[in-house]
Structure 1
Amino acid sequence: MQENIQSLPLEDVIGDRFGRYSKYIIQDRAIPDVRDGLKPVQRRILFAMHAEGNTYDKNFRKSAKTVGNVIGNYHPHGDTSVYDAMVRMSQDWKLRHVLVEMHGNNGSIDNDPPAAMRYTEAKLSKLASVLLRNINQDTVDWVQNFDDTAMEPMVLPANYPNLLVNGSTGISAGYATDIPPHNLSEVIDATLMIIDNPNVTTEEIMTVMPGPDFPTGGIIQGKSGIKQAYETGKGKAIVRGKVEIEKLRGGREEIVITEIPFEVNKSTLVKRIDELRADKKIEGILEVRDETDRNGLRIAVELKKDANAEGILNYLYKNTDLQVAYNFNMVAISDRRPSLLGVKAMLQSYIKHQQEVILRRSQFELDQAKKRMHIVEGLIKALSILDEVIETIRQSKNKSDAKENLKTKYDFTEAQAEAIVMLQLYRLTNTDIVQLENEHDELKATLEKLEKIINDKKHLMSVIKRELKAVQKDFSEPRLSTIEDEIQEIKISKEILIPSEETIVSMTKDGYIKRTSPRSFGASGLYELGTKDGDVLLDYKESNLQDVLLVFTNLGHYIYIPVHQLPDVKWKDLGTHLSQIVPLTQNEYVVGMINVTDFNQEQSIMIATQNGMIKKTLLIDFNVTRYSRPIVCMKLKDDDQVITVQSITGEEHILVVTQNGFALHYSLAEINNIGIKAAGVKSINLKDNDKVVSTEILYPESDLIIATHRGAMKKMKIDLFEESKRANRGVVILKELKSNPHKVVNAYIITDDLNFTLSSSNETYQSNTKTIRNADRYTNGSFIVDEKEFGQIDAFNLLIADE
């Protein structure tokens, strides 16, 4: 044997081989034919069963026998792939109308494997016989099988549009297909509509075929997506299960699922729902049970008392396969090439195929009828001269001589002479002559009918319509899936995801935040808060896990923190630094926090800065969906910083206190609500080298208490401050000193006596505000600490509550 070694570039070899392979799997493996809706393996299985007489009106046969027959004669591939394809055609949750009837375990909607093929039995379904009807009447083209020992059909006659009725799914090289199943009656109505009016629109088709009809039922939402898919071959619809909410004893409810989306694994769905319950991703589910039995599918999701059934159902739609997106990708082999087809193009291709099938069948029947007519005419002629024919035959030497004599004497053809010599004696009765004449008349009528079909397209189309209507009458079933025009928006309330549980949220000056159970808080006491050395409690609030914290910083940012996301730690533990939750910039620190239960409350947030700017912004504007980093809440100029943040109704009165001892009282009604990123308006008219140290809300019967950097403190009745207008200079609250004047460190509005601290770089002094006497506006107050020994005061803080 002579070697023939070729030197070829690798890319050419791989490209050529992969190109051949791709062509093969696209045309002959994974993509269905637009005419009969079948892939080659499915077509070969059905044809092999038909050829073996394994039809719906016969007994079941072992599946292994059919698989072996298919592999041996038509499909030289693994037995598993052939058996799997055969099983799928028998699964009534995969196909709208099964093509194979099977006895035994053929799998389940839980994706359980079928029994081995040696255990199961199968035969063609009655509808499958419609796909194969007239296949032996030269209706389709045939090719030799893989080893040239038998012939197989390239396509089945398919007396109904199987591609749309049962749909298809497959993946090949560069192409994939997802064609949903439809209702047989509706598909035939659409086909008839296109036959009657080839210019019909998609909207008109959708009046009789509004959308897919899945074997598992369910609810299909989004007619616009269906229409797009019907027009272009690509589109998207939402499929959700059919659900009812049933009442139980004791005021409880349960969600009962009776239909699930197409091709969703039921056991996986049940497992997923139970995982959500076990992982506490969702509150309110008590138990999940699969109660499916011979009467039908049923999944029961039992809820806790007072649980929000609608909210939980919406969460299941959003986070499980109880609702899925179905993406139409209607690719089929048309004219031996893959094409993305709309519904009208699919049905037109099917109608064209049926025209060819009926024409070829009619031509076949016409040829057969002509042959029979020829024989009948010969027999009638022979019977009319029976005695002479008999005499001629008797005088002949043998059968062939008799035929030749008949042909010579009476002008019979070869076929007629053969029929005459084979005629049995009982056929020579008078009755048979009448039967022949009747048959002749019938054949004449048949020939006229067939010729009319062949020569008249209108008559041909009427035959297609009549046969489609017959299939529709025999096999139509009610629609299983419900279609809704719009895709329903899913709204999930936080009550479903997060338990309603009371908690305590705390924040320190240095930015450590945490949530603590009321039990831990009560057992430890307020002043046993876990902090680092030098850190103090800035604020704490009673909250709920369903609430949101807004934490404000000095640089005009706020941090959105759902309370349930905070670590749950003991009151004595340190907590988490804000920088571990969101990134903070250098020199950024916390100035306040606000607990929000409902962003729709008619409230605003007031933000004030040390350079005398102020703004009001509606609470709803602070609600966001993305909060992975600090969010701007006020545009700051130059070296300005936020010093005060308060939740307000908008009608309160405030007192603005400056470092140089000015105080301005005015109503917040003067300020309009503005956008969240706006810079605000001027709060007070500051002198040079002055800044705001406090912007506090006023209360009836309250006092203003201030501390100066020299260690003096002063308490004044609020009545001393008459209401003025925003952006004024304000009134003086400290006596003017030319030498070493007092500077206000901080100021608070108090309604009760509270503990406070004064801090310098050396020491901290603590006392109670009741020790401070009330004074008028024109004094500098009383020295609480010795300014020489204690040092300059740099911080004045009220303690959160009395010990």
Structure 2
Amino acid sequence: MKAFDLDEIQTDAILETRLYRLAKLEIQKIREELEEKRKAARKIEAILKSPEKLWAEIKSELEAVEKEFAEPRRTRISDEDVTEEFTAESFIVKEDAIVLVTRDGWIKRQRTINLASTRMREGDEALALVGGSTTESVILLTNKGSAYNVRINDVPQSTGHGTPVQQLFKFKDGERLVAAVGTDARVMPEFGMPKPELGEEYEEPYPHFLAVTRSGMALRFTLWPHREVSTTRGRMFGKLREGDEFVAVFKVYAEDDVCALTRSGRLLCCTAQEVSLLSGPGLGVVLVKLDDGDEVAGAFPGSVTVEVEKATGGSMKVGSGAVKPTARGGKGAELWKRGAVKKITLPEPTLPDLEASEAAKKQSKKA
């Protein structure tokens, strides 16, 4: 404006003209590119519609490859059988990972997980932290008595909330997770030992899993039938009477104590051997006898101390030391006179130390 004594309107007109011309050039380039692609598309359609043109194109491309890469064979042809059996594991990059499973049924895989900072949906909490090689699996146990096995490598990686397990498996109505465990021998010693023969008792030194139902039934079972990856419908580990469900599933050894806490505040603890070890899915035995209207609110290993919140307010710590272990089938000891159990909080799951487990395993082999 200063150099040519132009007013503001004249200056704007000059600038807009230049911008218009530039935009027009870009539009022309786009039109030319579009016309080229249309010509290429018409050519491809003509080739696909004509078998003669299609085979001519294939021949031309093969001849071009032959001309470009024409050189003597580098591999040696032999009648020696060098075939090797490949499995799904052959194509997995073997590395350690941690899988987080939440109580609301979300699952995700990361190299390592810090529960204090990892993302979970509001109101959700960690159910289990499963560690192991990407070639190993996670076994998910539900309140309906089903066990679902997914390879760790197939668990979606995520820095967010993760993936609902219903996207990986076909859950029944009302089905939800109650436990999760890995198959890596570093965290599940059972799979580092020889598999017991059919008909054996699977007793020590094998760890088992104990499942407790809302109606007070309990059973022990081995994870061997659930060792391999399952279909989307899973496999049964226990049976239920109509209207019943499993409220807890956890690992035990034969001499361990197990405890069941009823809604009315009665606690029964007994040794795991009191509960029958089943070779297949079954109903189990009566762990605790319930009064009318009562139910099992939760169950846990005797070595664990849980926090119990009462409906009337307040909370208390409860473990096997709270009562004297007895035989199964009784009503248990009364912890308080009034008020029902509102919530049972188990200890927060800890991060598996795979390196320490590997070192201990090697030391055991040397010994």
TM bin (shorter chain)? 0.5 to 0.7
Distance (Å, rounded) in 2 between the aligned partners of 1:508 and 1:540:
9
Partner of 2:103: 509
Matches of 1:743 and 1:500, distance apart in 2: 48
- Partner Cα separation in structure 2 for residue 623 and residue 593 of structure 1: 13
Deviations 1:276-330 (A, max 9, x none): xxxxxxxxxxxxx9532xxx63899xxxxxxxxxxxx7xx5345xxxxxxxxxxx
Given candidates 560, 570, 576, the residue that maps to 2:163 is 576
Give the conservation status (yes or no) of the 8 Å contact 1:591–1:643: yes
Partner residue in 2 for 1:712: 314
Determine the structure 1 residue equivalent to 2:126.
537
Higher relative contact order (CA 8 A, sep 6+): 2
Which residue of the other structure, out of 136, 142, 146, is the alignment partner of 1:547?
A: 136
Cα 1:562–1:676 change in 2 (3 A) is: farther
Q: Contact between 1:291 and 1:299, CA under 8 Å: does it hold in 2?
A: no
Matched, 1:726 2:328: yes
1:477-517 Cα distance to aligned partner (Å, 9 max, x none): xxxxxxxxxxxxxxx694x4434311110012221111111
Identity of aligned residues (%): 19
CA distance in 1, matches of 2:220, 2:211: 7
Counterpart in the other structure of 2:267:
663
Contact 1:655 1:666 in 2 (8 A): yes
- Structure 1 residue 696: Cα displacement: 1.1
C-alpha separation between the residues in 2 aligned to 1:538 and 1:652? Answer: 22
Deviation sequence 1:505-548 (CA, Å, 0-9, x none): 00122211111112xx3xxx322222333322222222221221
Please list the CA deviations of residues 38-58 of structure 1 after superposition, one character each: whole Å capped at 9, or x if unmatched.
xxxxxxxxxxxxxxxxxxxxx
Q: How many residues align?
A: 263
* 1:673 counterpart residue number: 277
What is the TM-score normalised by the length of structure 1? 0.31
The separation in 2 between residues aligned to 1:717 and 1:552, in whole angstroms, is 24
The alignment status of 1:613 with 2:191, answered yes or no, reads no
Alignment of 1:229-628 (within 5 A): 290-292=74-76, 297=78, 316-318=83-85, 494=89, 496-518=90-112, 521=113, 525-570=114-159, 573-598=160-185, 600=191, 601=193, 602-624=206-228, 626-628=230-232
Alignment gaps of 5+ in structure 1: 1-288, 301-312, 320-491, 748-795
Give me the whole-angstrom Cα distance separating, in 1, the residues matched to 2:171 and 2:97.
Answer: 26
Aligned residue identity for 1:515 = R
Cα RMSD over matched residues?
2.8
Q: Distance in 1 between matches of 2:239 and 2:170?
A: 19
Question: What residue in structure 1 maps to residue 243 of structure 2?
Answer: 639
Do the aligned partners of residues 526 and 716 (structure 1) sit closer, same or farther apart at CA in structure 2, a change above 3 Å counting? closer
CA contact (8 A) 1:622 1:676 kept: no
Aligned-partner Cα distance in 2 for 1:631–1:693:
25
Deviations 1:579-627 (A, max 9, x none): 1111112221111111112564422221111110111112212234542
Q: Distance in 1 between matches of 2:119 and 2:80?
A: 49
In 1, Cα distance between the equivalents of 2:231 and 2:280?
15
Maintained 8 Å contact 1:658/1:692: yes
Aligned-partner residue type, residue 611 of structure 1:
S
**Deviations 1:117-140 (Å, cap 9, x if unpaired)?**
xxxxxxxxxxxxxxxxxxxxxxxx
Change (3 A) 1:695 1:626: closer
Cross-structure match for 1:61: none
Secondary structure (helix, strand or coil) at the match of 1:719 reads helix
Amino acid at match of 1:727: G
Contact 2:128 2:181 in 1 (8 A): no
Q: Deviation of residue 645 (structure 1)?
A: 1.0
Q: 1:797 to 1:704 in 2, by over 3 A?
A: closer
Amino acid aligned to 1:597 = D
The answer for the alignment partner of 2:294 in structure 1 is 690
- Post-superposition offset of 1:718: 3.8
Query: Does structure 2 retain, via aligned residues, the 8 Å contact 1:659–1:693?
Result: yes
Residue 38 of structure 2: aligned partner: none
SS of corresponding position for 1:608: strand
User: Contact 1:608/1:644 (CA < 8 Å) preserved in 2?
Assistant: yes
List per-residue Cα deviations over 1:176-227 (Å, max 9, x = no partner): xxxxxxxxxxxxxxxxxxxxxxxxxxxxxxxxxxxxxxxxxxxxxxxxxxxx
Cα shift readout 1:225-244 (whole Å, capped 9, x = no counterpart): xxxxxxxxxxxxxxxxxxxx
Amino acid at match of 1:620: W
Residue equivalent to 1:745: 342
C-alpha displacement of 1:674:
0.6
Q: Secondary structure at the match of 1:526?
A: coil
CA distance in 1, matches of 2:306, 2:347: 12
- AA paired with 1:725? A
Distance 1:536 1:544, change over 3 A: same
2:210 and 2:249 in contact (8 A); partners too? yes
Tell me how far 1:706 sits from its aligned partner.
1.9
- Which 5+ residue runs of structure 2 have no aligned equivalent? 1-72, 194-205, 352-367
Q: Structure 2 vs 1, CA of residues 628 and 512 (structure 1 numbering), >3 Å: closer, same or farther?
A: same
Tell me how far apart the structure 2 counterparts of residues 686 and 560 of structure 1 sit (CA, whole Å). Answer: 33
Distance 1:505 1:801, change over 3 A: closer
Contact 1:594–1:646 (8 Å) recurs in 2: no
| Residues in 1 aligned to 2:292 and 2:154: alpha-carbon distance in whole angstroms | 45
Whole-Å Cα distance in 2 between the matches of residues 608 and 728 of structure 1?
15
1:650 lines up with 2:254 in the alignment: yes
CA contact (8 A) 1:655 1:698 kept: yes
Going from structure 1 to structure 2, the CA distance change for 1:582 and 1:290 (only over 3 Å counts) comes to farther
| Preserved CA contact (<8 Å) 1:291 1:298 | no
Q: Report how far residue 554 of structure 1 moved.
A: 1.4
Cα distance in 1 for residues equivalent to 2:157 and 2:91: 17
In structure 1, C-alpha distance between the alignment counterparts of 2:321 and 2:272, rounded to whole Å:
18
Look up the equivalent residue of 1:619 and give its one-letter code: L
Cα deviation digits, residues 381-417 of structure 1 (max 9, x gap)? xxxxxxxxxxxxxxxxxxxxxxxxxxxxxxxxxxxxx
Q: Provide the C-alpha distance between the structure 2 equivalents of 1:578 and 1:510, rounded to a whole number of angstroms.
A: 9
The CA distance in 2 between the partners of 1:542 and 1:617, in whole Å, is 22
Deviations 1:538-588 (A, max 9, x none): 222222212211111111112111111111223xx1221111111112221
Counterpart in the other structure of 2:202: none
Separation in structure 1 between the aligned mates of residue 209 and residue 328 of structure 2, nearest angstrom: 18
SS at match of 1:527: coil
Q: Which runs of 4+ in 1 moved over 4 A?
A: 796-802
Normalising by structure 2, report the TM-score: 0.64
Q: Distance in 2 between matches of 1:797 and 1:647?
A: 14
Q: Is the 8 A contact 1:558 1:632 kept in 2?
A: yes
Going from structure 1 to structure 2, the CA distance change for 1:674 and 1:801 (only over 3 Å counts) comes to: closer
* Larger radius of gyration between Structure 1 and Structure 2: 1
Compared CA separation, residues 675 and 655, structure 1 to 2 (3 A)? same
